[in-house]
Amino acid sequence: MRQATHISVDEAAALVRSDDWIDYGFGLGQPDLFDKALAERRAGLRGVKIRSGVTLRPRAVLESDPAGDHFLWFNWHFSGYDRKYHDLGRANYIPMNFGEAPDYYRRFIDPVDLVCLKTTPIDADGYFNMGPSASYQRAIVERAKIVVVETCRSVPRALGPGNGLHISEVDYVIDGGADPLPQLPAGVPGDCEIKIAGQIAQRIEDGACLQVGIGALPNAVCGLLKGANLRNLGIHTEMLVDGMADLMEAGIVTNEKKTLDPGFTVYSFAAGSERLYRMIDGNPQLKACAVDYTNLPSQIARNDKVVSVNNTTEIDLQGQAASESSGFRHISGTGGQLQFVRGAYSSHGGLSFLCLTSIYEKHGQRKSRIVTQLTPGSIVTTPRTDTMFVVTEWGMVNLKGKSVAERALALISIAHPEFREELEREAREANMIPKGFY
């Protein structure tokens, strides 16, 4: 049992030594005042390795150390901010299937020298709540030599099993005030996203159980579902987003038809608007769970009619989806995409959708996102054997059960028209489409 002591943020930062492994936790759970105080100590530190995931606001340890002389930044899943520092050679990605993260800490990662997590202030029962960042926070605490919490009155109390951290599990407490949490805009869907979302919405039935990611496309899907006269939808997702909050507030999501956790919206972390955070705070209809509960395919498949909607950035004519890098430039992470693709497939009546706009612009030139072969260096997030539905603004195709030639022709049919002839020629030259096959 630990003996929690209240200390200043400078005293907490003074606990860090050169070459330590420090963990900042995930998303909204990352500390802010501790980060600034640690950056102030940089002159006396070298080789401090900091692990994090989905950074939602600037980190002082990075901003203050452009050459990386003092701090090394490791990340499980890039946000736009993490990506910027990867481009500068300052951030390093750690590959993982998100649902396996707690097991990584418990089985493969050496004890963490110090973890600092942002939490709610302590409650009357002696618990700090870890807020809407359940993910793998508890597993870090279990593996940490020193546990520090930075309390913040702006953190919503996210109800869920194991999301409370008792004072007996904490070494030091920092009063972090009440600064507002970072917000993550949902993105405004354009015409292409609305067309893609419309095709997906037509396939969703009453009683379906949803998982969607972040961005303009999932926002468009949720918006169309809101007006689709559907009933009794459920949610079992890794990320809770504003579009899902809209569906809950509209009464479309009831979770009544779920087999696993009926009556509850289940998620592992949230990021979005202040309105979303207010909805989470103390809401008994929401259940924040560790990511090995939300993301393992065996768990996902316990619900019927699972519908998984995720973005990809490039897909080849055999159905390999590259969703996390563009060549050797890392963009995001594997996250839960592959696990939800597999979980939805295994769910009774389940469907998985990988979505992408058909073209993008690079250096003033239009390029196809459907390609004969992936950009060299690009990481395959979803293998061809797992890909089910692929959707662009030009249509939707199902690759399950199709031969290589059938896959190629199907994907060419939903590519942008100006690239279809070129793609088919390349596919035939590569013998993906045999002679005489139409």
Catalytic residue positions? 238
Q: Is residue 219 within 8 Å of residue 210, measured between CB atoms?
A: no
**Identity of the residue numbered 59:** R
> Other C-beta atoms within 10 Å of 72: how many?
18
Query: Which residues, at least 6 apart from 47, have a Cβ–Cβ distance to it below 8 Å?
Result: 18, 19, 70, 72
Strands in 81-240 per DSSP E: 91-93, 112-119, 127-129, 144-151, 164-166, 172-175, 209-212, 234-235, 239-240
Give 140-173 as a 3 state SS string. HHHHEEEEEEEECCCCCCCCCCCCEEEHHHCCEE
Query: How far apart (Å, rounded) are the C-alpha atoms in residues 132 and 160?
Result: 10
Strand partners, 137: none
- List residues bridging with 172 in a β-sheet: 5, 148
What's the rounded Cα separation, in Å, for the pair 286 and 197? Answer: 25
Structure tokens belonging to residue 173: 């407490």
Tell how many helices (H) and how many strands (E) occur in the chain.
15, 27
* Residues paired with residue 165 on neighbouring β-strands, in sequence order: 128
Residue 309 tokens read as 């909607």
Using CA atoms, how far residue 54 sits from 132, 197, 219, 369, in Å, is 13, 25, 19, 25
CA angle 313, 316, 319 (to 5 degrees): 95
Helix (H/G/I), strand (E/B), else coil: 210: strand
